[in-house]
Amino acid sequence: MIDVSITHRLPPARGVKKTGGRGFKIDVSFATEDRILVLFGHSGSGKTLTLQAIAGLMHPREGRIVINGTTLLDTAAGIDSPARDRGIGYVFQDYALFPHLSVRKNVEFGLGAGRRASVAGQSGAGKGRGAVADGASGKRRVDELLELFEIDHVAHNLPGNISGGQRQRTALARALATNPRALLLDEPFSALDPLLRVRMRKEFSRLFAHFDIPAIIITHDPDDVDAFADTLVLYEDGRIRHRLNFRELRTEGRPALGLLMALMN
Amino acid sequence: MDFLSPLLTAGTLKVSVILLTLKVAGIATAVSSVLGILTAWCIARRPFPGRTWVDALCALPLVLPPTVIGYYLILLVGRRGLLGPWLAEFGINLMFSWEGAVVAATVVVFPLIYKSARAALEAVDHNLENAARTLGASEWKVFLRVSLPLAWRGILAGVMLAFARGMGEFGATLMIAGNLPGRTQTLSLAIYSAFQAGDDAQALALVIATSLLCMGVLILADKLATGGLSFGRGA
Protein backbone atom coordinates (compact mmCIF):
# COMPACT_ATOMS: atom_id res chain seq x y z
CA MET A 1 0.00 0.00 0.00
CA ILE A 2 1.32 3.39 -0.96
CA ASP A 3 -0.07 6.56 0.53
CA VAL A 4 1.55 9.83 -0.52
CA SER A 5 0.63 13.39 0.25
CA ILE A 6 3.12 16.23 -0.22
CA THR A 7 3.15 20.00 -0.50
CA HIS A 8 6.28 21.88 -1.36
CA ARG A 9 7.42 25.05 -3.05
CA LEU A 10 10.70 25.31 -4.93
CA PRO A 11 12.24 28.77 -5.16
CA PRO A 12 12.51 30.15 -8.70
CA ALA A 13 15.68 28.80 -10.26
CA ARG A 14 17.97 31.35 -11.82
CA GLY A 15 17.76 31.26 -15.59
CA VAL A 16 14.67 29.08 -15.74
CA LYS A 17 11.97 30.79 -17.74
CA LYS A 18 9.42 27.99 -17.60
CA THR A 19 8.11 28.88 -14.17
CA GLY A 20 8.03 32.57 -14.91
CA GLY A 21 10.11 33.37 -11.84
CA ARG A 22 7.35 32.32 -9.46
CA GLY A 23 9.06 29.12 -8.49
CA PHE A 24 7.32 25.77 -8.61
CA LYS A 25 4.60 24.55 -6.31
CA ILE A 26 3.76 20.90 -5.93
CA ASP A 27 0.65 19.80 -4.08
CA VAL A 28 -0.27 16.18 -4.67
CA SER A 29 -1.98 13.39 -2.80
CA PHE A 30 -2.65 9.84 -3.91
CA ALA A 31 -3.00 6.37 -2.47
CA THR A 32 -3.19 2.93 -4.01
CA GLU A 33 -3.40 -0.72 -3.05
CA ASP A 34 -2.34 -1.76 -6.56
CA ARG A 35 1.05 -3.14 -7.42
CA ILE A 36 2.02 -0.64 -10.08
CA LEU A 37 1.14 3.01 -10.13
CA VAL A 38 2.11 5.06 -13.15
CA LEU A 39 2.69 8.80 -12.88
CA PHE A 40 2.11 10.35 -16.26
CA GLY A 41 2.65 13.97 -17.20
CA HIS A 42 4.73 16.48 -19.10
CA SER A 43 8.31 17.28 -18.13
CA GLY A 44 8.42 19.66 -15.21
CA SER A 45 5.04 18.65 -13.81
CA GLY A 46 6.57 17.44 -10.54
CA LYS A 47 6.82 13.68 -11.18
CA THR A 48 10.50 13.33 -10.31
CA LEU A 49 10.08 15.63 -7.30
CA THR A 50 7.43 13.23 -6.01
CA LEU A 51 9.76 10.24 -6.32
CA GLN A 52 12.56 12.17 -4.63
CA ALA A 53 10.26 13.00 -1.74
CA ILE A 54 9.28 9.34 -1.34
CA ALA A 55 12.93 8.24 -1.43
CA GLY A 56 13.93 10.91 1.08
CA LEU A 57 16.15 12.80 -1.36
CA MET A 58 13.91 15.87 -1.17
CA HIS A 59 12.21 17.02 2.00
CA PRO A 60 8.79 18.56 1.40
CA ARG A 61 7.59 21.35 3.63
CA GLU A 62 4.46 19.41 4.48
CA GLY A 63 3.51 15.85 3.82
CA ARG A 64 2.91 12.29 4.82
CA ILE A 65 4.29 9.21 3.12
CA VAL A 66 3.26 5.74 4.28
CA ILE A 67 4.31 2.55 2.53
CA ASN A 68 2.97 -0.82 3.63
CA GLY A 69 2.11 0.60 7.02
CA THR A 70 5.52 2.16 7.66
CA THR A 71 5.50 5.93 8.00
CA LEU A 72 8.54 7.35 6.19
CA LEU A 73 7.48 10.96 6.48
CA ASP A 74 4.95 12.79 8.58
CA THR A 75 5.79 16.45 8.97
CA ALA A 76 2.91 16.97 11.40
CA ALA A 77 4.33 14.28 13.70
CA GLY A 78 7.94 15.33 13.13
CA ILE A 79 8.85 12.08 11.34
CA ASP A 80 11.31 12.29 8.44
CA SER A 81 13.53 9.24 8.10
CA PRO A 82 16.73 9.75 6.11
CA ALA A 83 17.02 8.24 2.63
CA ARG A 84 19.34 5.48 3.80
CA ASP A 85 16.76 4.14 6.28
CA ARG A 86 13.74 4.25 3.99
CA GLY A 87 14.32 1.03 2.10
CA ILE A 88 13.15 2.47 -1.20
CA GLY A 89 14.61 1.07 -4.41
CA TYR A 90 15.22 3.93 -6.83
CA VAL A 91 16.04 3.39 -10.49
CA PHE A 92 17.27 6.72 -11.79
CA GLN A 93 16.51 7.98 -15.27
CA ASP A 94 20.19 7.77 -16.27
CA TYR A 95 20.53 4.68 -14.02
CA ALA A 96 23.18 6.39 -11.83
CA LEU A 97 25.39 3.30 -11.88
CA PHE A 98 28.68 3.78 -10.06
CA PRO A 99 31.09 4.13 -12.99
CA HIS A 100 34.13 3.00 -11.01
CA LEU A 101 32.56 -0.23 -9.75
CA SER A 102 31.92 -3.42 -11.68
CA VAL A 103 28.38 -4.59 -12.42
CA ARG A 104 28.66 -7.06 -9.54
CA LYS A 105 29.98 -4.42 -7.11
CA ASN A 106 27.13 -2.14 -8.16
CA VAL A 107 24.54 -4.81 -7.39
CA GLU A 108 26.29 -5.65 -4.10
CA PHE A 109 26.51 -2.03 -3.00
CA GLY A 110 23.39 -1.99 -0.87
CA LEU A 111 24.12 -5.28 0.89
CA GLY A 112 25.39 -4.87 4.41
CA ALA A 113 23.57 -1.60 4.92
CA GLY A 114 22.04 -1.36 8.36
CA ARG A 115 18.42 -0.95 7.42
CA ARG A 116 17.84 -4.40 5.95
CA ALA A 117 17.01 -5.79 9.34
CA SER A 118 13.99 -3.52 9.61
CA VAL A 119 12.93 -4.27 6.05
CA ALA A 120 13.28 -7.98 6.69
CA GLY A 121 11.00 -7.65 9.69
CA GLN A 122 8.31 -6.42 7.34
CA SER A 123 7.67 -9.50 5.29
CA GLY A 124 4.35 -8.19 4.05
CA ALA A 125 5.81 -6.93 0.79
CA GLY A 126 7.53 -10.15 -0.20
CA LYS A 127 6.11 -13.52 -0.96
CA GLY A 128 8.45 -15.70 1.02
CA ARG A 129 11.65 -14.57 -0.67
CA GLY A 130 13.15 -14.21 2.77
CA ALA A 131 15.37 -11.41 3.91
CA VAL A 132 18.73 -10.63 2.44
CA ALA A 133 21.36 -11.89 4.82
CA ASP A 134 24.99 -11.01 5.20
CA GLY A 135 27.98 -12.94 3.95
CA ALA A 136 27.43 -16.12 2.01
CA SER A 137 23.69 -15.82 1.53
CA GLY A 138 24.09 -12.17 0.45
CA LYS A 139 26.59 -13.32 -2.15
CA ARG A 140 24.20 -16.06 -3.25
CA ARG A 141 21.41 -13.53 -3.63
CA VAL A 142 23.63 -11.36 -5.82
CA ASP A 143 24.52 -14.42 -7.90
CA GLU A 144 20.82 -15.16 -8.32
CA LEU A 145 20.04 -11.60 -9.30
CA LEU A 146 22.88 -11.43 -11.82
CA GLU A 147 21.61 -14.65 -13.37
CA LEU A 148 17.95 -13.66 -13.31
CA PHE A 149 18.77 -10.34 -14.96
CA GLU A 150 21.09 -12.01 -17.47
CA ILE A 151 24.05 -9.86 -16.51
CA ASP A 152 26.15 -12.62 -14.94
CA HIS A 153 28.41 -12.77 -18.01
CA VAL A 154 29.24 -9.04 -17.69
CA ALA A 155 29.49 -9.08 -13.87
CA HIS A 156 33.11 -7.96 -13.92
CA ASN A 157 32.68 -5.22 -16.53
CA LEU A 158 32.41 -1.56 -15.64
CA PRO A 159 29.03 0.06 -16.44
CA GLY A 160 30.69 2.13 -19.17
CA ASN A 161 31.51 -1.03 -21.09
CA ILE A 162 28.13 -2.75 -21.23
CA SER A 163 25.06 -2.17 -23.43
CA GLY A 164 22.15 0.12 -22.58
CA GLY A 165 19.85 -2.80 -21.81
CA GLN A 166 22.44 -4.38 -19.54
CA ARG A 167 22.93 -1.08 -17.74
CA GLN A 168 19.23 -0.82 -17.12
CA ARG A 169 19.04 -4.38 -15.83
CA THR A 170 22.00 -3.66 -13.54
CA ALA A 171 20.23 -0.61 -12.12
CA LEU A 172 17.07 -2.61 -11.41
CA ALA A 173 19.01 -5.53 -9.94
CA ARG A 174 20.94 -3.12 -7.70
CA ALA A 175 17.72 -1.58 -6.42
CA LEU A 176 16.11 -4.98 -5.80
CA ALA A 177 19.17 -6.46 -4.09
CA THR A 178 18.37 -4.51 -0.92
CA ASN A 179 14.89 -6.05 -0.71
CA PRO A 180 13.14 -2.66 -0.81
CA ARG A 181 9.69 -1.79 0.50
CA ALA A 182 8.83 -0.20 -2.82
CA LEU A 183 10.43 0.46 -6.16
CA LEU A 184 10.58 3.84 -7.88
CA LEU A 185 11.45 4.06 -11.57
CA ASP A 186 12.07 7.40 -13.27
CA GLU A 187 11.37 7.08 -17.00
CA PRO A 188 13.04 3.68 -17.05
CA PHE A 189 12.95 3.21 -20.83
CA SER A 190 13.58 6.70 -22.14
CA ALA A 191 17.33 6.15 -22.62
CA LEU A 192 16.82 3.06 -24.79
CA ASP A 193 16.35 2.79 -28.54
CA PRO A 194 12.77 1.92 -29.60
CA LEU A 195 13.30 -1.80 -30.31
CA LEU A 196 15.15 -2.39 -27.07
CA ARG A 197 12.45 -0.44 -25.27
CA VAL A 198 9.78 -2.91 -26.38
CA ARG A 199 11.92 -5.84 -25.24
CA MET A 200 12.81 -4.31 -21.87
CA ARG A 201 9.14 -3.56 -21.17
CA LYS A 202 8.34 -7.24 -21.58
CA GLU A 203 11.28 -8.20 -19.37
CA PHE A 204 10.31 -5.72 -16.68
CA SER A 205 6.70 -6.94 -16.67
CA ARG A 206 8.00 -10.44 -16.02
CA LEU A 207 10.39 -9.24 -13.30
CA PHE A 208 7.77 -7.11 -11.56
CA ALA A 209 5.46 -10.12 -11.40
CA HIS A 210 8.33 -12.19 -10.03
CA PHE A 211 9.30 -9.76 -7.27
CA ASP A 212 5.82 -8.50 -6.40
CA ILE A 213 7.00 -5.24 -4.86
CA PRO A 214 4.79 -2.15 -5.10
CA ALA A 215 6.22 0.17 -7.75
CA ILE A 216 5.76 3.72 -8.97
CA ILE A 217 6.81 4.36 -12.55
CA ILE A 218 7.23 7.81 -14.03
CA THR A 219 6.73 8.15 -17.74
CA HIS A 220 5.55 10.36 -20.54
CA ASP A 221 5.26 7.46 -22.93
CA PRO A 222 1.69 6.08 -23.39
CA ASP A 223 3.15 2.65 -24.20
CA ASP A 224 4.49 2.43 -20.65
CA VAL A 225 1.00 3.14 -19.35
CA ASP A 226 -0.38 0.29 -21.48
CA ALA A 227 2.34 -2.06 -20.33
CA PHE A 228 2.38 -1.39 -16.59
CA ALA A 229 -0.34 0.79 -15.13
CA ASP A 230 -2.72 -0.64 -12.54
CA THR A 231 -3.40 2.81 -11.17
CA LEU A 232 -2.80 5.80 -13.41
CA VAL A 233 -2.17 9.27 -11.99
CA LEU A 234 -1.98 12.21 -14.38
CA TYR A 235 0.17 15.14 -13.29
CA GLU A 236 -0.12 18.68 -14.53
CA ASP A 237 1.84 21.63 -13.24
CA GLY A 238 2.44 20.21 -9.78
CA ARG A 239 -1.10 18.96 -9.30
CA ILE A 240 -3.02 15.77 -9.95
CA ARG A 241 -5.34 16.22 -12.88
CA HIS A 242 -6.83 12.72 -12.93
CA ARG A 243 -6.55 9.47 -11.04
CA LEU A 244 -7.81 6.36 -12.83
CA ASN A 245 -8.12 2.66 -12.21
CA PHE A 246 -6.37 1.65 -15.39
CA ARG A 247 -6.77 -2.10 -14.87
CA GLU A 248 -10.48 -1.78 -15.57
CA LEU A 249 -9.89 0.38 -18.61
CA ARG A 250 -7.34 -2.09 -19.93
CA THR A 251 -9.76 -4.98 -19.73
CA GLU A 252 -12.09 -2.87 -21.86
CA GLY A 253 -9.32 -2.97 -24.45
CA ARG A 254 -8.77 0.76 -24.70
CA PRO A 255 -5.20 1.78 -25.56
CA ALA A 256 -3.80 4.50 -23.33
CA LEU A 257 -2.85 6.88 -26.12
CA GLY A 258 -6.40 7.95 -27.06
CA LEU A 259 -7.43 8.18 -23.43
CA LEU A 260 -4.43 10.27 -22.46
CA MET A 261 -4.91 12.64 -25.38
CA ALA A 262 -8.53 13.14 -24.39
CA LEU A 263 -7.71 13.63 -20.71
CA MET A 264 -4.69 15.90 -21.04
CA ASN A 265 -6.30 18.45 -23.34
CA MET B 1 79.21 22.18 -19.90
CA ASP B 2 81.54 23.64 -17.28
CA PHE B 3 78.67 24.62 -15.01
CA LEU B 4 77.76 20.97 -14.48
CA SER B 5 81.16 20.04 -13.07
CA PRO B 6 80.27 20.93 -9.47
CA LEU B 7 77.44 18.40 -9.70
CA LEU B 8 79.88 15.66 -10.47
CA THR B 9 82.26 16.61 -7.69
CA ALA B 10 81.79 14.17 -4.88
CA GLY B 11 80.47 15.68 -1.68
CA THR B 12 79.05 18.87 -3.14
CA LEU B 13 75.53 17.54 -3.28
CA LYS B 14 74.18 17.16 0.19
CA VAL B 15 71.98 14.13 0.11
CA SER B 16 70.82 14.85 3.66
CA VAL B 17 69.36 18.19 2.54
CA ILE B 18 67.34 16.47 -0.15
CA LEU B 19 66.16 13.77 2.22
CA LEU B 20 65.09 16.32 4.82
CA THR B 21 63.25 18.29 2.15
CA LEU B 22 61.43 15.18 0.92
CA LYS B 23 60.58 14.23 4.51
CA VAL B 24 59.21 17.67 5.38
CA ALA B 25 57.27 18.05 2.11
CA GLY B 26 56.00 14.47 2.27
CA ILE B 27 54.66 14.64 5.83
CA ALA B 28 53.21 18.12 5.27
CA THR B 29 51.44 16.92 2.10
CA ALA B 30 50.07 13.84 3.86
CA VAL B 31 48.72 15.83 6.82
CA SER B 32 47.32 18.54 4.56
CA SER B 33 45.70 15.92 2.31
CA VAL B 34 43.70 14.43 5.16
CA LEU B 35 42.72 17.83 6.55
CA GLY B 36 42.13 19.43 3.15
CA ILE B 37 40.00 16.62 1.74
CA LEU B 38 37.86 16.34 4.88
CA THR B 39 37.40 20.11 5.04
CA ALA B 40 36.49 20.23 1.36
CA TRP B 41 33.97 17.42 1.91
CA CYS B 42 32.31 19.24 4.81
CA ILE B 43 32.13 22.50 2.90
CA ALA B 44 31.08 21.02 -0.46
CA ARG B 45 28.16 19.06 1.00
CA ARG B 46 25.68 21.82 1.54
CA PRO B 47 25.55 25.58 2.04
CA PHE B 48 25.63 26.85 5.61
CA PRO B 49 25.77 30.34 7.10
CA GLY B 50 29.27 31.76 6.78
CA ARG B 51 30.42 29.24 4.19
CA THR B 52 31.96 31.95 2.05
CA TRP B 53 34.03 33.12 5.03
CA VAL B 54 35.24 29.64 5.92
CA ASP B 55 36.13 29.05 2.27
CA ALA B 56 38.10 32.30 2.11
CA LEU B 57 39.93 31.44 5.33
CA CYS B 58 40.91 28.03 3.96
CA ALA B 59 42.27 29.60 0.78
CA LEU B 60 44.04 32.44 2.58
CA PRO B 61 47.53 30.87 2.81
CA LEU B 62 47.53 30.78 -0.98
CA VAL B 63 47.64 34.55 -1.23
CA LEU B 64 49.26 35.61 2.04
CA PRO B 65 53.02 36.25 1.90
CA PRO B 66 54.78 33.23 3.48
CA THR B 67 56.40 35.55 6.03
CA VAL B 68 52.93 36.54 7.23
CA ILE B 69 52.01 32.88 7.61
CA GLY B 70 55.27 32.34 9.49
CA TYR B 71 54.48 35.24 11.80
CA TYR B 72 50.99 33.90 12.53
CA LEU B 73 52.48 30.49 13.28
CA ILE B 74 54.96 32.02 15.73
CA LEU B 75 52.06 33.77 17.45
CA LEU B 76 50.33 30.41 17.61
CA VAL B 77 53.00 27.84 18.44
CA GLY B 78 55.95 30.02 19.49
CA ARG B 79 57.39 29.63 22.99
CA ARG B 80 55.23 32.49 24.24
CA GLY B 81 52.53 31.88 21.65
CA LEU B 82 48.92 30.90 22.11
CA LEU B 83 49.53 27.15 22.11
CA GLY B 84 53.30 27.18 22.76
CA PRO B 85 53.24 26.69 26.56
CA TRP B 86 50.55 23.99 26.21
CA LEU B 87 52.62 22.14 23.59
CA ALA B 88 55.72 22.49 25.77
CA GLU B 89 53.95 20.55 28.53
CA PHE B 90 53.89 17.59 26.16
CA GLY B 91 57.55 18.17 25.36
CA ILE B 92 56.75 19.49 21.90
CA ASN B 93 58.77 22.44 20.71
CA LEU B 94 58.11 23.42 17.13
CA MET B 95 60.41 26.44 16.98
CA PHE B 96 63.70 25.75 15.19
CA SER B 97 62.86 22.08 14.67
CA TRP B 98 62.14 20.09 11.53
CA GLU B 99 58.64 19.44 12.91
CA GLY B 100 58.16 23.22 12.82
CA ALA B 101 59.13 23.16 9.16
CA VAL B 102 56.44 20.51 8.65
CA VAL B 103 53.84 22.73 10.32
CA ALA B 104 54.85 25.68 8.12
CA ALA B 105 54.71 23.62 4.92
CA THR B 106 51.41 22.02 5.97
CA VAL B 107 49.73 25.40 6.29
CA VAL B 108 51.26 26.71 3.06
CA VAL B 109 50.15 23.74 0.92
CA PHE B 110 46.73 23.27 2.55
CA PRO B 111 44.83 25.57 0.14
CA LEU B 112 46.20 23.77 -2.91
CA ILE B 113 44.70 20.49 -1.72
CA TYR B 114 41.54 22.02 -0.28
CA LYS B 115 40.77 23.94 -3.49
CA SER B 116 41.27 21.02 -5.85
CA ALA B 117 39.47 18.62 -3.52
CA ARG B 118 36.47 20.90 -3.23
CA ALA B 119 36.23 21.39 -7.00
CA ALA B 120 36.62 17.66 -7.62
CA LEU B 121 34.06 16.65 -4.97
CA GLU B 122 31.54 19.19 -6.22
CA ALA B 123 31.93 17.85 -9.76
CA VAL B 124 30.79 14.37 -8.70
CA ASP B 125 27.31 13.61 -10.07
CA HIS B 126 24.91 14.11 -7.13
CA ASN B 127 22.65 11.42 -8.54
CA LEU B 128 25.37 8.86 -7.83
CA GLU B 129 25.60 10.01 -4.22
CA ASN B 130 21.81 9.95 -3.95
CA ALA B 131 21.71 6.47 -5.47
CA ALA B 132 24.13 5.32 -2.77
CA ARG B 133 21.89 6.87 -0.09
CA THR B 134 18.78 5.08 -1.37
CA LEU B 135 20.83 1.86 -1.20
CA GLY B 136 21.24 2.41 2.53
CA ALA B 137 24.72 3.94 2.59
CA SER B 138 25.66 6.24 5.48
CA GLU B 139 27.10 9.65 4.59
CA TRP B 140 30.55 8.34 5.45
CA LYS B 141 30.12 5.34 3.15
CA VAL B 142 28.84 7.62 0.37
CA PHE B 143 32.02 9.63 0.76
CA LEU B 144 34.44 6.69 0.90
CA ARG B 145 32.85 4.45 -1.74
CA VAL B 146 31.42 6.99 -4.21
CA SER B 147 32.50 10.63 -3.86
CA LEU B 148 36.18 10.09 -3.03
CA PRO B 149 36.95 7.45 -5.70
CA LEU B 150 35.22 9.56 -8.36
CA ALA B 151 36.95 12.77 -7.30
CA TRP B 152 40.29 11.09 -6.76
CA ARG B 153 41.97 12.18 -9.97
CA GLY B 154 41.22 15.86 -9.41
CA ILE B 155 42.32 15.61 -5.80
CA LEU B 156 45.55 13.88 -6.78
CA ALA B 157 46.49 16.74 -9.08
CA GLY B 158 46.22 19.10 -6.12
CA VAL B 159 48.20 16.74 -3.89
CA MET B 160 51.10 16.55 -6.34
CA LEU B 161 51.08 20.31 -6.76
CA ALA B 162 51.12 20.65 -2.98
CA PHE B 163 54.10 18.33 -2.68
CA ALA B 164 56.08 20.32 -5.25
CA ARG B 165 55.13 23.55 -3.53
CA GLY B 166 56.05 22.08 -0.14
CA MET B 167 59.54 21.20 -1.36
CA GLY B 168 60.11 24.81 -2.33
CA GLU B 169 58.74 26.32 0.89
CA PHE B 170 61.03 29.10 2.12
CA GLY B 171 59.52 32.06 3.94
CA ALA B 172 57.28 30.50 6.57
CA THR B 173 59.83 27.73 7.19
CA LEU B 174 62.62 30.25 7.72
CA MET B 175 60.58 32.14 10.29
CA ILE B 176 59.45 29.21 12.37
CA ALA B 177 62.16 26.61 11.88
CA GLY B 178 65.10 28.83 11.06
CA ASN B 179 67.92 27.77 8.77
CA LEU B 180 69.96 25.27 10.76
CA PRO B 181 72.19 23.11 8.55
CA GLY B 182 71.52 19.44 9.12
CA ARG B 183 68.43 20.14 11.23
CA THR B 184 65.98 22.43 9.51
CA GLN B 185 67.80 23.44 6.37
CA THR B 186 65.71 22.36 3.40
CA LEU B 187 66.67 22.73 -0.27
CA SER B 188 65.59 26.28 -0.84
CA LEU B 189 67.15 27.42 2.44
CA ALA B 190 70.40 25.63 1.61
CA ILE B 191 70.47 27.32 -1.79
CA TYR B 192 70.07 30.71 -0.16
CA SER B 193 72.82 29.97 2.38
CA ALA B 194 75.21 28.66 -0.24
CA PHE B 195 74.61 31.68 -2.42
CA GLN B 196 75.08 34.06 0.51
CA ALA B 197 78.32 32.30 1.42
CA GLY B 198 79.56 32.64 -2.15
CA ASP B 199 79.57 28.87 -2.68
CA ASP B 200 78.20 29.05 -6.22
CA ALA B 201 79.02 25.46 -7.01
CA GLN B 202 76.97 24.22 -4.08
CA ALA B 203 74.10 26.58 -4.91
CA LEU B 204 74.03 25.48 -8.54
CA ALA B 205 74.10 21.81 -7.61
CA LEU B 206 71.13 22.28 -5.28
CA VAL B 207 69.25 24.40 -7.82
CA ILE B 208 69.58 21.69 -10.43
CA ALA B 209 68.62 18.99 -7.94
CA THR B 210 65.51 20.96 -6.97
CA SER B 211 64.55 21.51 -10.61
CA LEU B 212 64.92 17.82 -11.42
CA LEU B 213 62.83 16.80 -8.39
CA CYS B 214 60.07 19.23 -9.33
CA MET B 215 60.11 18.06 -12.94
CA GLY B 216 59.79 14.51 -11.68
CA VAL B 217 56.79 15.38 -9.52
CA LEU B 218 55.04 17.16 -12.40
CA ILE B 219 55.64 14.28 -14.80
CA LEU B 220 54.41 11.80 -12.19
CA ALA B 221 51.31 13.93 -11.63
CA ASP B 222 50.61 13.95 -15.36
CA LYS B 223 51.11 10.19 -15.61
CA LEU B 224 48.72 9.58 -12.71
CA ALA B 225 46.13 11.96 -14.11
CA THR B 226 46.04 10.64 -17.67
CA GLY B 227 47.12 7.04 -17.34
CA GLY B 228 45.20 6.28 -14.18
CA LEU B 229 41.74 4.83 -13.79
CA SER B 230 39.53 4.98 -16.82
CA PHE B 231 35.83 4.23 -16.58
CA GLY B 232 35.20 3.89 -20.29
CA ARG B 233 32.25 5.59 -21.88
CA GLY B 234 29.73 7.12 -19.49
CA ALA B 235 26.17 5.89 -19.18
Taking an 8 Å cut-off on Cβ atoms, the answer to whether A114 and B136 are in contact is yes
- A161 touching chain B per CB within 8 A: yes
Task: List, as ranges, residues 53-82 from A with C-beta within 8 Å of B.
Answer: 55-57, 82
Give the confidence band of A125 by pLDDT, cuts at 50, 70, 90. very low
Please check whether residues A14 and A69 belong to one and the same domain: yes
What is the per-residue burial (b if ≥16 Cβ within 10 Å, else e) of A96-105?
bbbbbbbbbb
* Of residues B113, B103, B137, the one with CA closest to residue B39: B113
Closest CB from A56, A99, A116 relative to B234: A99
Residue A128 shares a structural domain with residue A78:
no
Q: Which of B178, B194, B140 is nearest to B6 (CA)?
A: B194
Q: What part of B 110-129 touches A (C-beta under 8 Å)?
A: 125, 127-128
Answer yes or no: do A164 and A223 share one domain.
no
Kindly report the nearest CA distance between residue A173 and chain B, in angstroms. Answer: 12
What's the confidence (pLDDT) of residue A141?
Answer: 86
Partners of residue A160 in chain B, C-beta under 8 Å:
231-235
- What is the pLDDT, as a whole number, of residue A255? 79
Q: Does B133 touch chain A (CB under 8 A)?
A: yes
B233 falls within a domain: no
Buried b (16+ CB within 10 A) or exposed e, B151-165: bbbbbbbbbbbbbbb
Residue at A130 is within a domain: yes
Can you list the pairs that B30-36 forms with residues at least 24 positions away whose Cβ atoms lie under 8 Å?
A: B31/B102, B31/B106, B32/B106, B32/B109, B32/B110, B32/B113, B32/B162, B33/B113, B33/B155, B33/B159, B33/B162, B35/B106, B35/B110, B36/B110, B36/B111, B36/B112, B36/B113, B36/B114, B36/B117, B36/B158
Q: Are B189 and B147 in contact (CB under 8 A)?
A: no
Q: Which residues of A touch B127 (CB under 8 A)?
A: 92, 94, 96
Same domain, A235 and A254: yes
Domain with residue B197: its CATH number is 1.10.3720.10
* A28 bridge partner residues: A6
* Chain segment B46-98, per-residue pLDDT in tens: 888 999 999 999 999 999 999 999 999 999 988 888 888 888 888 888 888 99
B21 located within any domain: yes
Task: Check pLDDT > 80 for residue B40.
Answer: yes
Examine the pLDDT at A130 and tell me if it is beyond 60.
Answer: no
Separation in Å, CA of A52 to nearest CA in chain B: 10
Q: Which pLDDT score is estimated for A160?
A: 94
* ipTM confidence: 0.86
* Per-residue pLDDT tens digits for B115-131: 999 999 999 999 999 99
Q: For residue B167, what are the domain limits?
A: 2-226
Query: Is residue A74 domain-shared with residue A35, that is, in the same domain?
Result: yes
Last residue of a domain, one of A160, A180, A200: A180
Contact A56, A137 (CB under 8 A): no
Task: Look at residue A159 and tell me if it is in a domain.
Answer: yes
* Residue A209 belongs to a domain: no
Contacting A residues, span 18-57, partner chain B, CB-CB under 8 Å: 55-57
Confidence of residue A134 (pLDDT cuts 50, 70, 90): low
Which of the four pLDDT bands, split at 50, 70 and 90, describes residue B4? low
Residue A55 covered by a domain: yes
A134 touching chain B per CB within 8 A: no
pLDDT in tens, A5-57: 999 998 876 665 555 567 889 999 999 998 999 999 888 899 999 999 999 99
Residue A29 belongs to domain spanning = 1-87+216-265
Which of A56, A85, A160 has its CB closest to that of B232? A160
Which candidate, A221, A230, A217, places its Cα nearest to that of A185? A217
- Chain B residues in contact with A174 by the CB 8 A cut-off are 135
Residue A137 pLDDT > 80: no
Domain membership flag for residue B231: no
Does some domain include residue A263?
A: yes
pTM of the entire predicted model:
0.84
- Is the Cβ pair B136, A175 closer than 8 Å? no
CATH of the domain at A144: 3.40.50.300
pLDDT 10s digits, B179-228: 888 888 999 999 999 999 998 888 998 999 899 998 988 888 888 777 65
In a domain, A164, yes or no: yes
Total of domains in chain B: 1
What pLDDT sits at residue A81?
93
- Which member of A84, A97, A98 has the closest CB to residue B133? A84
pLDDT at B234: 40
Out of B125, B149, B234, the one facing A160 most closely (by C-beta) is: B234
Cβ <8 Å between B134 and A90 = yes
- Which of A55-64, A96-105, A112-121, A190-199 has the weakest average pLDDT? A112-121
Q: What is the pLDDT of residue A118?
A: 40
So what's the pLDDT on residue A201? 92
Structural domains counted in chain A: 2
Residue A251 dihedral angles phi and psi, to the nearest 5°: -65, -20
Minimal Cα distance from B138: which residue of A? Answer: A84
Question: Which chain B residues touch A109 with a CB distance below 8 Å?
Answer: 132, 135, 137, 145
Q: Please say which residue of A180, A206, A233 terminates a domain.
A: A180
Domain membership flag for residue B163: yes
**Contacts of residue A161 in chain B, CB cutoff 8 Å?**
232-233
Q: A100 and B233: CB-CB below 8 Å? A: no
Do A5 and A71 lie in one domain? The reply is: yes
Q: Which of A69-78, A155-164, A187-196, B142-151 has the lowest mean pLDDT?
A: A187-196
pLDDT band at B23 (very low <50, low <70, confident <90, very high): very high
